[in-house]
Each structure stands twice: as C-alpha cells, then as structure tokens.
Structure 1
Amino acid sequence: MKKAGRNESGKKAMSRGGGAAVACLLLLPLLVLAVLKTDFMPQQLIHVGEASIAQDGDESSVPGGVEGAIWQPRQQQLVAKSKAAHDPVVEAPTSPNVVRANRDHKIKKGFLAMNGGMDGALIKSDGDVVAAPTRSKLSCNLSSYRTNMCAMQGDVRVHGKAATVYVVSASDDNRPDNGTITIRPYPRKWETPTMQLVREVTIRWRAPPGPGAPRCTVTYDVPAVVFSTGGYGVNIFHAITDIIIPLYNTAREYDGRVRLIATNYDRKWIAKYRHALSLISIYPIIDLDADNEVRCFPSAHVGTESHKELGIDSALSGKGYTMMGFRGLIRSAYSLKREWVTPINHGSKPRLVMVLRRNSRALTNEAQVVAAAAEVGFEVVAAGPEVVRDLGKFAETVNSCDVLVGVHGAGLTNMVFLPRNGTVLQIVPWGEMKWPAWTSYGEPVAPMGLRYAEYEVTAEETTLKDVYPRNHTVFTDPVSIHKQGFNMLWETFLNGQNLTLDVHRFTGVLQHIYQSLLPSHN
C-alpha cells in the first residue's frame, strides 16, 4: 500500500511537472511574438492643430525637461547610444577608423551638403529598408494658411534628384485618391511668387517594394525632415521666421538625432546659420537636388510646422514649444553669456545697439541720433551692414546690450539674441505702417521675454516730403496706397523713403527707456 501510494504520488508530481513544461513551451512563442510586436508597433498618431502628425509614443525622448531650458545635445553620447541601440539592423559594423574619418569630415565641412561622407549611424544597402514595418502610415495637413506638411512613418524612401518621397504600402486614407501629392516645403504658401522659387517635392504611396519604388542605397535609423532654403531666406527675418523656427517646431523632439534634407540648397545660407542648425540636427545637411542616393528612413516630415511671423503658437504646436524655449536654443547655439538684463550699477552705462540701414529707410541724420543716445547715458554700438554680416560675432554684440534700436526691417530680428528683459525700440516709417510694424516686430517681443517701445515718424521726418506734394495721397490717405497691393506699398513706404528723425522728440523716448533700466524700476 505504501509502495502504491508512493507510485501514485510520483505520478501526480510527474503530472504537475509535465504540465508546467508544456505551459512553458506554449508560452515561449507568445513571448517571442510579444517582443516582435513591441519592436514593430507602428508609431502613435497625435493631432497637432488640424493635422495628424506621427511621433514616438515615448515622451522621454523630448530633451530638456523644462521646455525653456538651454538645449545642449550631447553628440558623442547620442552617436554611441544610436550604435548600441541599432546595431542589430546594421549588416556590416562601421570600423572606428571610418567613424573617426566621418567625424573629421563632418567637422571640416560644417553642416553643409552630404553626397557621400556619412556617419556610423547608417549603412549602405542594395536591398529594401532593413526591418521596416509591413504597413506604413501617412498623414497630411493641407488646410493651414501658412504651410503644407505631410508626416509619414514605416518604409519611407527619399530619391533626391527625382525630388520624390515614396511611402511604401501606406495604409492611411487622409490623402487624395491618385496616390500622389506635391508639396513645396516652405511655409509661405499664400505668397504665390515666393512659392514658385521653391522646388516641388512629390510624395507617392502604396508603391510596391518592387518596381513601384526604387531600392534603398542608404538606410538610416533616424527620422528625416525635408525643407527648403529657397524663398525669401536671404535676410535674417525670413531665415528665422520661415526656416529656423519651423525646423525647431518640427524637429526639436528628436534632440538632434534627425536628418535635415534641403531643396534649393544654399551653401552660403547653411554656413551662415550653421550654429542654430547644429542644435536642430547633429548631422550634415543633405542637398536633395544634387543627391543620387535613395535614402531610406523609419519616418519623415515633408514641409515644416509654422504658426506666425517670428513666433510660436504653443496651442497649435501641441508640444508646448515657446519662443522662450527657442531663445534657449539660440543662446546655446551661439554660446551667449548674458541671460538677463540687470539694473544699471553705479558708474556703469547700459549698452544700446543701433542697427543702421543703408539702401532704404536709412537715417539721414544718423550721427546726430547716435550722439543723442550717448548723451542720454547709453554706451552706443553703431551697427551698419558690415558689422551685422558676421552673424556669430554680432549675436554676441547684441547679447552684451540692453537695448536694440532699428527702423522697421529685418535687422530688428536680431532681438532673438538680446538677454531676457531687454528692450526693442522700433522706429516706424511714414505711411500708416504702425500695424505692419507691430505684426512683424512688436507682437513677437513679449513672448520672447523682452520689452517693446516704439517711435512713429511724422510727415516732417520722411524724405517722401521731397518727392510728393503735401496734398498727395501719400500724405492725405496712405491707406489707399496699401489697398493698391503689396508691391505698391513696398515701393512707396518701404523702399521709397529715408528718415530724418526729430532728435529732440526721439531723445524723449530714449530717456524713458534709460529710466526703465535704473534699479528703482526693476
């Protein structure tokens, strides 16, 4: 009986052990499936304004913690992290010598076009995208007043010279039925002549991995953003408003690990703004128009997110971005030392930088105006075009000042370099220009943490009085000139006049600003 009991107990034990073994065998495939499913889950779609924009579901990838903090990507750590995280998809590991050579190449060329020299985070490939999801996603916003933009993820292939982006096996329905859409990736779409200067990019979807889409020659493990350095990007206002702020809105979340691809590639422009671009992307910018490669990405944006002139609408961004945050990036990019304007110390003088124009809206009594500012008590920096041209050096100059003064125009954009609580004084030319001046350079001031002052010239202070009689509509009804179209406004009130300031009246405005910098006013 005892023997029989032991056998029965043994059978029960064997039965329990066998069940556990079978359960483990059954669970193993499920665990593998769960891991695979996690690795290949499509990215989350979130709504930004009226668009559905793709982004990673992991909020921890957003840098900085506090949005307004200075953003300083750690390039070496990012590259090391990238290699460690993505080595399984790299067919042939890059040797240390190649990595060093590529890094030296990148430093030598700055953030310029890349048609060959590549870093260790990508691979050459004769096949399709490595480990791409079988179903891609595409979402476009074509209803914005300022810009058209598409976001895509999955199997994304960019054929440079053809200016075509292929989204293979796209499954989203938020697009036209013919399988293609064209976008000019520049955020000024209401200005038709401007947009004609921007190369068109075609997006194609549901192309089969075979003949319908070209095979990858380069594969990346980071996203891409396609933009343009065409349009009006030649002056600093349009460079910041139309290109750099929209790139910040679109690519900041990637903490530098994003490939920027430029149409209408302008080498001089990219060299000039390399400091800001280097904190948006740690990689060289790719020249789309001259690129023979088919570059494949896990996700991409074609077009950039733009909200307003020289500003960011946090409600539209959906990511909580602000101009204070953008200015944090600018301070980091240019290594600007002063964060705040402080009250005047005993024996010291506040610094005032005066941006001076030469071809239009110039001050005919420039020397007297500069002397008046000095007499009020300012240490004056007179900055003509020859001074402003070196942007990196001029950014430091502006940051060392407490006040920036200039006639309505692109030079006022240098306010982005002022320390917090600095003052912007805009001189508004004749011609009912108060509203345009406020929209472009007055309204953006407060969101940057700055103060604003204004000096509006009278009919006695414009050289238009030497061109037109006083009974001309230029003086009696300036708004009628506005109604004739922007070109007429531009030629008459912007390109058509210089200014002779009433020094006594202007001195009163400068005195008010000076008083605001005293300790009792702070």
Structure 2
Amino acid sequence: MRRGESRGTRGANRSLSSSWKSSYIGYGLVVGFVLVLLYLMVTTQFSNSPTAYLAGPATISKTKQIPAATHQENHAGREDGSREMEERYREEVARTHTEPSKGQRQEEKVESEQLREERNPIEEQLGNETNSGNWEDTHQPEKKGTIEFSEFGGGTDDFNNVANTKPICDTSFGKYDICVLDGDARAQGGAAATVTLVSPRAAPREWKIKPYSRKYLDGLKAVTVKSVPNPEDAPQCTTQLNVPAMVIELGGLTGNYWHDFTDVLIPLFIGARRFSGEVQLLVVNLLPFWVHKYRKIFSQISRHEIIDLDKDHGVVRCYPHVVVGYGSRKEFTIDPSLDDTGGGYTMVNFTEFLRHSYSLPRDRPIKLISQGTGGAAGLTRPRMMILERTNSRKLMNLPEVVTAAEAAGFEVTVAGRPRASYDEFAREVNSFDVMLGVHGAGLTNCVFLPTGAVLVQIVPYGRLENIAQTDFGDPARDMGLRYIEYGIAAEESSLMDVFGKDHPMIKDPIAVHMSGWGNVAEWYLGKQDVRVNIDRFRPILIQVLEHLR
C-alpha cells in the first residue's frame, strides 16, 4: 500500500480482494464436482464391461466346464458346413458356459487348426498299430476330449447369456434330429416319454423328437424334449446316475441286415463311443431279441443296464448329460468331417471296434509272396468267400464262377444264410481275404473282413452303379478295404430273356429310373438274376490277386 492512499481507497481494495477470493472458491467447487462426476462415470463404465466382469472373481463357475470339442453333437444336424460355421459354433458353445478372452479364443482356434492338420487320413491309419488285444489302449480318445459334468441341480449361474444360448435341439437336418441336454437332465418313461432340461439360461421350449436315424419313416414314436428354467417345473428325480445317457429308438427298418448297421449300430458308435462304455441307453421300442443278437457290440458301447423307456413307468432318471437321437450323414459309413464322434473316429475305427468286440484274430489279409518249403517254392492261396443269394439277384452260373476263381489261385467257399451263431459267423468271415457277391444286404458282412481285404461287388443291370457305390463302394473304401466293381451287361441279365433287347427295360434304363422307384425296385432289384460272362470276369480275378500282393 502506497503511503499516499486514503483510508477509503484501502477499504475499497479490501472489498474487491474478498470478492475475487469468493469467486475462486466457487469455481473450485464446481470444477471439483465435475471431476467427481467424471470419475464416477468412468468407474461405472469399467465395472460394467465384459472384460472387467470376466477378470473378476465372479467368473469362477460353480459347474465344471465342458470342452467345446466334446459338445459338438449339439451341432450334429448342421448341413455340409464351412469352416467358418464350425468356428462360429465353437465360439457360441464356449459363450454358453464362460466367455473366454479374445486371446484365449485365438489360441483355441489355432489349436483346432493344428489338430485338423495332424489328423491322419485313412490310408495312414492302415499302417498304425492294429493289434486287437490292445484296442482299448490304442484307440481311446485323448483325455482332453472327455466330457466333465456339472453337479445335479447346479445347471449354470450364468443368467446374463440367455439371449446367446443355442437351442438344445437341432432339427435342421432332414434325416435325423439331435438334442443335447447338458446339466440337470431328467428322463421320464412310459407311453409319453419326456426328457427335461432344468436350466435358468434355457428359455421354456418344447420339441417332439423321433430318436431314430431316419425320422421321416412312418410308425416311429416321438419323445418330448423340454427346457424349463426352474426345478419345480420338471418331474422330481427318483434315481440319479452320474454318467451320460442316450435316448435312441429301434424299429423303423431295423431287422434288415444292412439297415441294422446303417441305421443303428454305426450311428450308435458315432454317438456313444466317446463315452468309453460309461453311458446308459434309454431305448424306445426296445427289441430284446435284436439287442441279444448284437449283444457283444452293445456290451462294448455301454457297461450299464439298457432301459426299456416305454415300460419305465413311475421312474424319473436324472443325468448330468443326455443326448436324444442319433444318425450318420452318409449311408453305411462315417464321415469325420460331418459326423461328430467326439474322437474323430472313422470306419476303420468302427471295424477295429467290431474285431475287438467279437475277438476276431485277423487285422490284415494274406500277403501273396513266394515261400520256400523244403527247397521248393510255393504260393499261398488266398481265401475267397462267395455269397450265395437264394431269392432275387442270384448267380445263375455260380459253379462256373467258383471254378474260374479256383483256377485263378483262390481257395473258395460258398456261403449262404449263416447256420452257425452270429458270433461264430463273424469269426468265419474274418478268416477270408476276399468277399465276392451280387449287390445285396449280404455284402454288409464285409465289416468283419480284415483291413486291406478285397470286396468285389457284382452290380446288376439297370444303371445301379450309383446305388452300389453309395451302399457298399464308398463304405468299403472308408473301411480300408480294396474295392472292385463288376457291372453286369445286358446280355448277362435274366431281364434280356424276359423283355428282349429292344424293350425300354433293356434299351433305356434311364427312362425306367425316371418313371419312378417302383419299376427299379420291382425289376432291376426284385426280379433280376445274373449270369456272369467268365471270359469277361477273369480280369477281375487277376485284379483281386494284385491287390493282395
């Protein structure tokens, strides 16, 4: 303060200074309030982010996790899928349990690609260890591919992913349906069988499922599959078993030998082999005599009692995992790229499984080499089984075919309907190196041949090559068999004697096919026999020998 200032001036200066101080304090309070609001907003945003949620302790699940790779039966009904669809499915399955971080998803994707690249094709599998005595040790899926199950009633605590949950039933495939109930699953038998999943993340829904591999057939029974959010909405458990269960249906075309394998036994292997015997079968339309025929196969599929679901009145069976339905994408074979087996199994694995089930001794056919015997060179004769048909598609000159095969160097046995027990007949088939027969269900016995044996299919006249390839040609190759096809010419068919060379049945088989399946089934399959031209057939016999060298 300068000395010359008056007292009034000094008073005015003090008042002005006090006013500025008050203003500074007010501005400071406003700025502080704004900063506090910003801090609260930022804190709230981070606390609500999925990353922060997953990083926190709340993500510790009360249920054990199921690897996505073991859960792909949930997608078994998908159409011929692209790799992108498969990866999208894997990610969705993972989200329904606990969403992994982006880095984890990338690592899983890389690991999945590596596993695909390392998976051997069938040709490479043929050189692997195939000692049937060690089958259980050498052909089980790796431990990381096994399924772990949540405790009963636990379901899942993830209430936030209901919108992202996949339906438990996939009905998109025209041939069969698959439902996968994971968690608290309850099966109730009787005339109106139901399987209920209790899960807070599953919206209430209901399906009618025919648990057979050809759902479009008449006369099949439906099972009701439901999902409910609360335990009170489901029947109460009367018994619990801490292993998975499969609900399947017999009937349909069961009883036809080819359909026994195509429609039941192969699909059952696809769906149940992943469980290594620890699965219970709940069967609709149980056929005890049929199950008894294949008892050795069923005993390897499941170590538990088979339940007749139709007669299971008053019982509610609870499991940590239930699969309803089964099937295979192709006829009489397994396509690992389409059929989810849980272990990447192929038809080679299926035939190895059969050899193990029936204790069949031969994994490989004879190999034709010259052997020294007492100073003299000799050639071992391969064994050929010729299947004899007694109804349609008979070999009218069977004795001539036998004579030609013996002259070519084969030891020949003609087999009609097996008179021994089924188990003994399986062992007999396994003793042969070659199977030869006209297209028909008897060729199904090729499943018991040693890997690398030869199957010769004689295809009747009438443009039946596509059917023959689908039913036996492609499956035989998938089993690791050598496959040869001999097509009957018009002159070798009995239909030539019936219709003459100028009739459309002979002259234009394509037109017959276009007229409908009835004529094809009645004449080309039902009323045709064949007489093999031996001169034309001999090169086939030479080709068989070459395959065995």
- Shorter chain as denominator, the TM-score bin is 0.7 to 0.9
Give the partner amino acid of 1:181: W
- Cα pair distance change 1:468/1:412, threshold 3 Å: same
Superposed counterparts of 1:266-285, under 5 Å:
266-285=287-306
- The answer as to 2:408 corresponding to 1:385 is no
What does residue 367 of structure 2 align with? Answer: 343
Task: Indicate the larger mover: 196-205 or 249-258.
Answer: 196-205
Q: Aligned residue for 2:143?
A: none
Q: Deviations over 1:23-76 (max 9, x none)?
A: xxxxxxxxxxx999666235344444665698999x9xxxxx9997658559xx
> Is 1:73–1:279's contact at 8 Å kept on the other side of the alignment?
no
Choose the corresponding residue for 2:254, options 233, 242, 256: 233
Q: Partner of 1:512 in structure 2?
A: 543
Q: Where in structure 2 are the equivalents of 1:201-280 lying within 5 Å?
A: 201-206=223-228, 208-210=230-232, 212-280=233-301
Number of equivalent positions: 420
Instruction: Identify unmatched segments of 5+ residues in structure 2.
Output: 1-56, 79-88, 99-110, 112-118, 138-147, 159-164, 370-377
Q: Which amino acid aligns with 2:317?
A: R
Take 2:485 and 2:156, find their aligned partners in 1: how far apart are those partners? 58
After superposition, the C-alpha distances for 1:317-355 in whole angstroms (9 at most, x for unaligned) are 354221111122111111111111232353421000112
Q: 1:325 aligns with which of 320, 334, 349?
A: 349
Matches of 1:435 and 1:446, distance apart in 2? 15
**Residue from 392, 402, 405 that aligns with 1:373:** 405
State whether structure 2 residue 326 is matched by structure 1 residue 304. Answer: yes
Question: What is the Cα-based RMSD across aligned positions, in Å?
Answer: 3.2
Please state whether the residue corresponding to 1:467 is helix, strand or coil: helix
Going from structure 1 to structure 2, the CA distance change for 1:300 and 1:468 (only over 3 Å counts) comes to same
Asked if 1:184 is matched to 2:187, the reply is no
3-state SS of 2:461 partner = coil
1:166 equivalent to 2:196? Answer: yes
Q: Distance in 2 between matches of 1:361 and 1:207?
A: 57
Equivalent position to 2:177, from 138, 142, 148: 148
What is the CA-CA distance between 1:505 and the residue it aligns to? 2.3
1:492 is displaced (CA, Å) by: 1.7
Counterpart amino acid of 1:156? A
**SS, match of residue 386 in structure 1:** coil
The sequence identity of aligned pairs, in percent, is 37
Question: How far has the Cα of 1:131 moved from its partner?
Answer: 4.8
Asked if structure 2 preserves the Cα contact closer than 8 Å seen for 1:42 and 1:154, the reply is: no
Q: Report the counterpart of residue 406 of structure 1 in structure 2.
A: 437
1:457 to 2:488 alignment: yes
Structure 2 residue 66 is matched with structure 1 residue 43:
yes
Equivalent pair of 2:152/2:184 in contact (CA under 8 Å): no
Q: Distance in 2 between matches of 1:386 and 1:326?
A: 23
Deviation of 1:360 (Å)? 1.3
Contact 1:224 1:300 in 2 (8 A): yes
Unaligned runs of 5+ in 1: 1-33, 60-64, 75-84, 90-128
Q: Distance in 2 between matches of 1:242 and 1:35?
A: 46
Q: 1:213 to 1:172 in 2, by over 3 A?
A: closer
Aligned mates of 1:404, 1:505 — CA distance in 2: 19
Q: Aligned letter for 1:196?
A: D
Q: Between Structure 1 and Structure 2, whose CA radius of gyration is higher?
A: 2
Q: TM-score, normalised by structure 1?
A: 0.73
Task: Tell me the distance in 2 between the aligned counterparts of 1:473 and 1:300.
Answer: 53
Q: TM-score, normalised by structure 2?
A: 0.70
One-letter identity of the residue aligned with 2:407 = E
Which segment drifts farther, 409-418 or 163-172? Answer: 163-172
Cα distance in 2 for residues equivalent to 1:50 and 1:227:
16
Question: Which residue pairs with 2:19 in the alignment?
Answer: none
- Distance in 2 (CA, whole Å) between partners of 1:289 and 1:487 is 35
Q: In the aligned structure 1, how far is the partner of 2:171 from the partner of 2:468?
A: 29
Separation in 2 of the partners of 1:310 and 1:452? 15
1:82 corresponds in structure 2 to none
1:359 to 391, 407, 411: 391
SS at match of 2:348: helix
> 1:471 is aligned with what amino acid?
D
2-structure distance, mates of 1:49, 1:154: 19
The 5 Å alignment of 1:490-505 reads: 490-505=521-536
* Structure 2: distance between partners of 1:337 and 1:159: 42
The farther-off stretch of 292-301 and 40-49 is: 40-49
Q: Shift of the alpha carbon at 1:487?
A: 3.1
CA distance 1:50–1:241, shift in 2 (3 Å) = closer
Structure 2 contact 198–229 (Cα < 8 Å) conserved: yes
Q: Report deviation, 1:235.
A: 2.2
**CA 1:361–1:452 in structure 2 vs 1: closer, same or farther (change >3 Å)?**
same
**SS in structure 1 of the partner of residue 214 of structure 2:** coil
Secondary structure of 1:432's partner? coil
- Return structure 1 stretches of 4+ with deviation > 4 angstroms: 34-39, 44-57, 65-74, 129-132, 134-138
Structure 1 pair 306/299, CA: closer, same or farther in 2 (3 Å)? same
Q: What one-letter code is carried by the residue in structure 1 that aligns with 2:466?
A: W
Give runs of aligned pairs for residues 434-473 of structure 1, distance below 5 A. 434-473=465-504
State the AA in 1 paired with 2:181.
M
Q: Specify whether residues 50 and 422 from structure 1 end up closer, same or farther in structure 2 by C-alpha distance, changes over 3 A only.
A: same
CA deviation string 1:144-200 (max 9, x = no partner): 233111111111111111221111236246xxx7x21011112224xx3xx213211
Q: CA deviation at 1:478?
A: 0.9
